[in-house]
C-alpha cells in the first residue's frame, strides 16, 4: 500500500474558500491534474441543513452561510496509466461542508484492475485569516511479485502516490486562484 499526506495553508479566508468549493465543483480539475478524466458524475444524495440561520439565502449570497451541506456522488473516471490494469474506475465521493470544516473523501467502489483500493481525502479548516488544508491519498495495488521486485514496486508506488498528492495541491491552488479571480471580476 502506498500512502502520502501533505498539509499546507492557502492564503484565503476559510469562509471564502468554503464558498468557492461549494459554488464551483473542484472535482474535475483535481482529477484531471492527476491524470484521470471525469467521464460521468451522478449525484446520489444531497442534504442541506440551515440550522438556526434566519437568512440562509442572503447569507449564502454574501459568502457567510451557516448551512451544513452533505453530498454523495458516484464518479466514473478514466485511467490513463497502462499499469493500472483497467481503463475506468468508479469512485464514491462523500462531502461534508460546515462553517468550520470542509471534508471530502473519495474512495474506489470496488477493486478495479490492479487497483485494490484507492482513497483520497481533503480536509480544510479555518486558521487565522487563511485556510489550513490536508490532502491524503492511499492506494493499494495487487501484483504478485518476488520479494526483491516487491520493494522496487513499493518504492515506485510511494513515489506515484506522493506525486498525486502534489498534483492535487497544485490543482486546488489553481482552482482557488482561478475562481477567486473570476469572482472578483463580477
Dist CA 167 CA 122 (whole Å): 13
Dist CA 16 CA 24 (whole Å): 12
Find where cell 500500500 sits. Answer: 1
* SS3 label, residue 152: helix
What is the domain-level CATH number for residue 8? 3.30.530.20
Domain of residue 151 covers 2-185
In the chain, how many domains are there?
A: 1
Tens place of pLDDT for every residue, the chain, 186 residues?
A: 889 999 999 999 998 999 888 888 788 888 887 778 999 999 999 998 887 777 767 766 666 677 888 999 999 999 887 777 889 999 999 999 998 999 999 999 999 888 899 999 999 999 999 999 999 999 888 865 566 666 777 778 888 889 989 999 998 999 999 888 776 555
Q: What is the pLDDT of residue 129?
A: 94
Amino acid at each position: 500500500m502506498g500512502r502520502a499526506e501533505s498539509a499546507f495553508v492557502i492564503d484565503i479566508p476559510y469562509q471564502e474558500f468554503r464558498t468557492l468549493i461549494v459554488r464551483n465543483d473542484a472535482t474535475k480539475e483535481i482529477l484531471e491534474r492527476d491524470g484521470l478524466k471525469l467521464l460521468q458524475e451522478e449525484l446520489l444524495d444531497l442534504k442541506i441543513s440551515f440550522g438556526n440561520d434566519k437568512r440562509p439565502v442572503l447569507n449564502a449570497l454574501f459568502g457567510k452561510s451557516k448551512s451544513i451541506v452533505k453530498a454523495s456522488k458516484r464518479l466514473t473516471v478514466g485511467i490513463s496509466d497502462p499499469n493500472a490494469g483497467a481503463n475506468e474506475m468508479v469512485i464514491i465521493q462523500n462531502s461534508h461542508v460546515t462553517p468550520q470544516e470542509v471534508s471530502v473523501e473519495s474512495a474506489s467502489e470496488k477493486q478495479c484492475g490492479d487497483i485494490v483500493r484507492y482513497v483520497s481525502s481533503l480536509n480544510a479548516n479555518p486558521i487565522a485569516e487563511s485556510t489550513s488544508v490536508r490532502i491524503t491519498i492511499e492506494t493499494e495495488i495487487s501484483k504478485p511479485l518476488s520479494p526483491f521486485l516487491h520493494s522496487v514496486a513499493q518504492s515506485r508506488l510511494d513515489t506515484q502516490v506522493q506525486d498525486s498528492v502534489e498534483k492535487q495541491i497544485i490543482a486546488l491552488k489553481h482552482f482557488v486562484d482561478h475562481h477567486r479571480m473570476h469572482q472578483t471580476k463580477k
